[in-house]
Structure 1
Amino acid sequence: MPTYAAIATVETGRFQNAQELASIWGDVQTDLEDKNCHLIDAYVLLGERDVLLLFEADSREDALQASIAVQRYGISMDTMEAMNVDRLGELVDEL
């Protein structure tokens, strides 16, 4: 199952405090699961972006649908397919 990294920005003014933002994570995880995705981990970031989500998806289409579903919470995601660094050796062997 491919892994995806989504770097997200939370809409300004959408949540009044960190507790309100934390209260939606169960719903976000449910939405991901409804789109055939499994949330591996989530991190709050300091800087230009607010959240990093790592998840697995059955397909690129499922990852796209999950990204769209999460946007309804006021979270805009840039989603990228991720590959474990350990696989780099396999790629070199294939070349």
Structure 2
Amino acid sequence: MPTYISEVDVHEAEAQNPQDLVSTWGSIREEIRELGGEVLDSHAVLGEYDFLVVYDVDDRETAFKVTQVIERHGLDTRTMGALPIERIGELVDDV
């Protein structure tokens, strides 16, 4: 299953209550699960974005749906495909 990483930005107007934000993440995890995906990891981060979410889904179309799920909750995303370092070694050996 391909892995994707979404950088997530919270607008100050949307994050009035930290407890609501925690509840929102629970809803997002469940909605990703309903799409057939799995959240592998998530972190609050310092910097340009507020959160980092790592998840596996079946394909790019489902990854797009995940971004829509996240954005529907008033959050902005920037999403990238990812490969484990071990897999890069295998790919290089094939070249």
Q: Tell me the TM-score range normalised by the shorter chain.
A: over 0.9
Report the Cα offset of residue 11 of structure 1. Answer: 1.9
RMSD: 1.1
Q: Which runs of 4+ in 1 moved over 3 A?
A: none
Counterpart in the other structure of 1:91 = 91
Report the Cα offset of residue 19 of structure 1. Answer: 2.2
Distance 2:43 2:49 in 1: 11
Contact 1:31–1:70, Cα closer than 8 Å, also in 2? no
Stretches of structure 1 that go unaligned for 5 or more consecutive residues are none
Percent identity over the alignment is 35
Stretches of structure 2 that go unaligned for 5 or more consecutive residues are none
- Stretch moving more, 9-18 or 79-88: 9-18
TM-score (norm 1): 0.92
Distance 1:92 1:15 in 2: 43
Which secondary structure does the structure 2 equivalent of 1:29 belong to? Answer: helix
TM-score (norm 2): 0.92
Counterpart in the other structure of 2:82 = 82
Counterpart in the other structure of 2:18 = 18
Distance 1:53 1:20 in 2: 18
Counterpart in the other structure of 2:47 = 47
Distance 1:80 1:68 in 2: 14
